[in-house]
């Protein structure tokens, strides 16, 4: 097959090679300290075509090879599925924290869905769940008995958030995707290729909350406003905003929420593509809030992914691929720059915050950390 010419080159075939001659100070093969991947998926999910569950021994070997002390499994679900997930990882109970999930479909049948979910969370905690994962079905797709979308700050869910606080279980919450996912799919959309490949990720057209009978999805800012309202209304509950608080393109808002709500934390999973193209602002944010930012990847347990994250966090390398496969860019056609975080910040982001918020300061044979005077959650 002949190579395409300049007249017929398709964007999908465009693979530019950077000609920058930037120095690398040595790409780390793995995190420099035993890390905790606080955002991962180890169980079956709606996206797990061809998925093959690892055995505990296989997972332990992968973690050991990449200096990962522990990992958080967000795929616990509820009921029997949660019991199976907890049972599968029981041999690695000190290294795998399984989080419970929600039954969004049930909300369309039971008007007391908030109380039902709160009771279910209490059962999950008694069975060994270490927290709750809330997915973006909340606010975007889950509906109540009248057929209307359940907004993120729906007061009917207050019993659930209060239960999490009472149980001292963190809530890992994901309610919005990149801002481009809420914009028209045209030549100006920076995630055009990704949305063409995944049309179900495109939340367009949008419509404001005040017009609930019209078709469409809530706008991005409305979702984040709802999330902030929940965090403000439940100060005794620990929230971890997935994917840089669901607002990686708006670090000013992330910073303001961290400053305003002591119960608000964020992870960096699947957002180094966003953070790495604004390295000055991203570094400032993490250095300002080292005790509120958690390391996570949202990628299958894989040395290549952990290696890219280590390079991003630990080095000041410039203009490198955020995708381990070094493809055209699954999220956008740009490269990223390393943050070169200080050692004490790395210690907190890599492990300290997840140990404190999720694992309770003990992670098996990697050794306990001394408990603080007031360990909190």
Helix (H, G, I), strand (E, B) or coil at 138: helix
Q: Would you place residue 326 in the very low, low, confident or very high pLDDT band (cuts 50, 70, 90)?
A: low
CB-CB contact of 37 with 360 (8 Å)? no
pLDDT of 39: 98
CATH of 34-44+54-314+347-365, one of 1.10.3720.10, 3.30.1330.90, 3.40.190.10, 3.20.20.140: 3.20.20.140
* pLDDT per residue as tens digits for the range 35-48: 999 999 998 754 44
* pLDDT per residue as tens digits for the range 360-369: 865 554 554 4
**Nearest 10 degrees: Cα torsion 237, 359, 101, 197:** 110
**CA–CA dist 167, 235 (Å, integer):** 14
* pLDDT per residue as tens digits for the range 98-129: 999 999 999 999 999 999 999 999 999 999 99
**CA–CA dist 223, 257 (Å, integer):** 14
pLDDT of 192: 93
Closest by Cα among 308, 310, 315, 305 to 349 = 310
pTM: 0.92
């Amino acid at each position: 097959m002949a190579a395409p010419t300049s007249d017929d080159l398709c964007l999908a075939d465009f693979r530019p090679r950077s000609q920058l001659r930037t120095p690398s100070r040595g790409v780390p093969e793995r995190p420099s300290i035993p890390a905790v991947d606080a955002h991962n998926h180890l169980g079956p999910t709606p996206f797990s075509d061809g998925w093959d569950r690892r055995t505990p021994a296989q997972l332990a070997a992968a973690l050991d090879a990449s200096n990962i002390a522990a990992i958080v499994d967000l795929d616990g679900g509820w009921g029997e599925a949660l019991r199976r997930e907890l049972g599968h990882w029981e041999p690695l109970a000190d290294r795998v924290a399984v989080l419970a999930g929600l039954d969004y479909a049930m909300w369309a049948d039971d008007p007391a869905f908030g109380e039902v979910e709160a009771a279910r969370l209490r059962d999950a905690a008694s069975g060994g769940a270490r927290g709750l994962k809330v997915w973006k079905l909340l606010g975007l797709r889950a509906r109540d008995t009248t057929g209307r979308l359940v907004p993120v700050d729906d007061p009917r869910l207050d019993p659930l958030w209060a239960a999490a606080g009472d149980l001292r279980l963190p809530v890992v919450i994901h309610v919005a995707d990149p801002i481009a996912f809420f914009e028209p799919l045209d030549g100006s959309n920076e995630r055009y290729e990704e949305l063409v490949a995944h049309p179900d990720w495109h939340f367009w057209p949008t419509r404001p909350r005040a017009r609930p009978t019209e078709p469409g999805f809530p706008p991005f800012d409305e979702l984040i406003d709802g999330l902030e309202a929940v965090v403000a209304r439940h100060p005794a509950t620990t929230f971890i905003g997935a994917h840089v608080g669901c607002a990686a393109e708006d670090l000013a808002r992330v910073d303001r929420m961290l400053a305003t709500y002591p119960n608000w934390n964020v992870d960096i999973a699947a957002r180094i593509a966003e953070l790495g193209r604004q390295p000055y602002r991203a570094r400032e944010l993490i250095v300002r809030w080292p005790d509120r930012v958690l390391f996570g990847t949202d990628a299958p347990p894989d040395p290549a992914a952990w290696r890219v994250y280590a390079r991003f966090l630990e080095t000041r390398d410039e203009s490198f691929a955020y995708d381990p496969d070094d493809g055209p860019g699954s999220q956008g056609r740009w490269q990223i720059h390393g943050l070169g975080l200080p050692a004490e910040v790395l210690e907190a982001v890599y492990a300290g915050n997840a140990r404190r918020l999720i694992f309770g300061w003990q992670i098996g044979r990697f050794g306990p950390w001394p408990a603080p005077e007031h360990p909190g959650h």
